[in-house]
Each structure stands twice: as structure tokens, then as C-alpha cells.
């Protein structure tokens, strides 16, 4: 069974909307390597429609341009790209197809049949649904040291709590913190009376 990983750029106050407007000053070799390992190495990439359209509108031209990002562009172009949408789609970017049927059933089958990792970038609504269903193996959050102070889209909306466990935490020289979370069992119902035993004593 394959592993599904998702990567998102997120501000200190939890915003994930329009990262192209605020995260590039923090993009360095460390982040490039982490993003390349999480997304660029995947043979299959799962997208929501909006994220896919943004990628498809940019990366094929970057591959054709042959500049520093052409290697990443080629890897994305060569990957199998599966798009989640309720509307019927047509594709011009090679190796693209639409997920048929129910999201959870389709991704469950995809995990079972795939022999390599499945990557995701952005697509927060898909990430939330896969987390809630226990299908996302790793959530990579690149937490940027900036508070945007806006009402932009956040990763988590209202809903049931989703317990996670911290797999790793790596600070970058820019102040970005690369956090990797995985699924976890529900946390215990510890009360304050139990928690206060861990407070320092005189």
C-alpha cells in the first residue's frame, strides 16, 4: 500500500491562501529540498481542481523554458496526476486524469493499487477530508514566521477534532518551521486536576 503525503505553506496565524503572495522570500535551499522530497519524488500527484489549474497553468511552460526549475517541472509533468472535481474536466497537461466516483472510496482504492508514494500540494479541502478519513499518512506544514493579519483561507475549518502526532520538526535558516504530522489515536480526556500535577513546584 502506498503512502499519501500533503504539503502546505502556512502563515503563523494559520492562513494558507495565496502563498505566492507572501512565501517566496522564505524559499531557500532547505525548503527546496524538503518540497522536492515530499512532492517531486512522488510518481502520482493528487489535486483538487483549483490547485491543479494553478499548476497546469504554470509548470508546463516552466518545463519548456528549461531554466533552474525545469527538473521539478518535468517530474511533475511525468507524474500521474489525478484531479478531484464534481465537474467533468478536459486536460492539456500530459498524464492527467479525473478521479471517478466518491473521493474516499477512490483514494482508498488508489492507495491499495499504487506501488509508489502519492503526493499532494495545496488542495486544503481534499487534505481535510483525507485527514478525517484517516487516509493521509503525512501532513507537511511549512510554517512561515509571518502573521498576515487577514481573513484568508485557513487549513482547518469548523468540524470534529482531528488528533495528530508529530513525526518531525525542522527549523530552516529563514525561520520557517517544517513540521510533519501523522494520524494519531484520540487524546485522553485528561482534566485540569490531572494536568496540574505536571506544574513546577516550589
For 4-34, the pLDDT digits (tens) are 999 999 999 999 999 999 999 999 999 999 9
**Over the stretch 46-103, which tens digit does the pLDDT of each residue have?**
999 999 999 999 999 999 999 999 999 999 999 999 999 999 999 999 999 999 999 9
Strand ranges (E), the chain: 4-11, 44-48, 80-84, 96-98, 118-121, 138-144, 164-171, 177-183
Superfamily (CATH) of domain 4-198: Dihydrofolate Reductase, subunit A (3.40.430.10)
The domain ranges of the chain are 4-198
C-alpha span between 96 and 86 (Å, rounded): 16
What are residue 182's DSSP bridge partners? 165
Alpha carbons 32 and 29: distance in angstroms, whole number:
5
The pLDDT, as a whole number, for residue 159 is: 77
For residue 86, give Cα distances in angstroms to 100, 111, 138: 9, 21, 25
Amino acid at each position: 500500500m502506498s503512502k499519501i503525503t500533503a504539503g502546505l505553506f502556512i502563515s503563523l496565524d494559520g492562513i494558507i491562501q495565496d502563498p505566492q503572495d507572501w512565501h517566496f522570500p522564505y524559499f531557500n535551499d532547505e525548503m527546496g529540498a524538503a518540497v522536492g522530497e515530499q512532492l517531486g519524488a512522488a510518481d502520482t500527484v493528487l489535486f483538487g481542481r483549483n490547485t491543479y489549474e494553478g499548476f497546469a497553468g504554470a509548470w508546463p511552460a516552466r518545463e519548456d523554458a528549461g531554466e533552474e526549475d525545469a527538473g521539478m517541472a518535468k517530474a511533475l509533468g511525468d507524474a500521474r496526476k489525478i484531479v478531484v472535481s464534481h465537474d467533468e474536466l478536459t486536460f492539456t497537461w500530459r498524464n492527467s486524469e479525473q478521479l471517478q466516483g466518491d473521493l474516499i472510496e477512490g483514494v482508498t482504492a488508489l492507495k491499495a493499487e499504487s506501488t509508489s508514494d502519492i503526493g499532494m500540494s495545496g488542495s486544503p479541502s481534499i487534505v481535510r477530508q483525507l485527514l478525517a478519513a484517516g487516509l493521509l499518512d503525512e501532513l507537511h506544514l511549512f510554517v512561515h514566521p509571518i502573521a498576515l493579519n487577514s481573513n484568508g483561507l485557513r487549513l482547518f475549518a469548523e468540524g470534529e477534532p482531528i488528533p495528530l502526532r508529530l513525526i518531525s520538526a525542522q527549523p530552516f535558516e529563514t525561520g520557517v518551521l517544517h513540521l510533519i504530522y501523522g494520524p494519531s489515536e484520540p487524546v485522553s480526556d485528561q482534566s485540569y486536576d490531572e494536568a496540574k500535577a505536571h506544574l513546577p513546584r516550589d
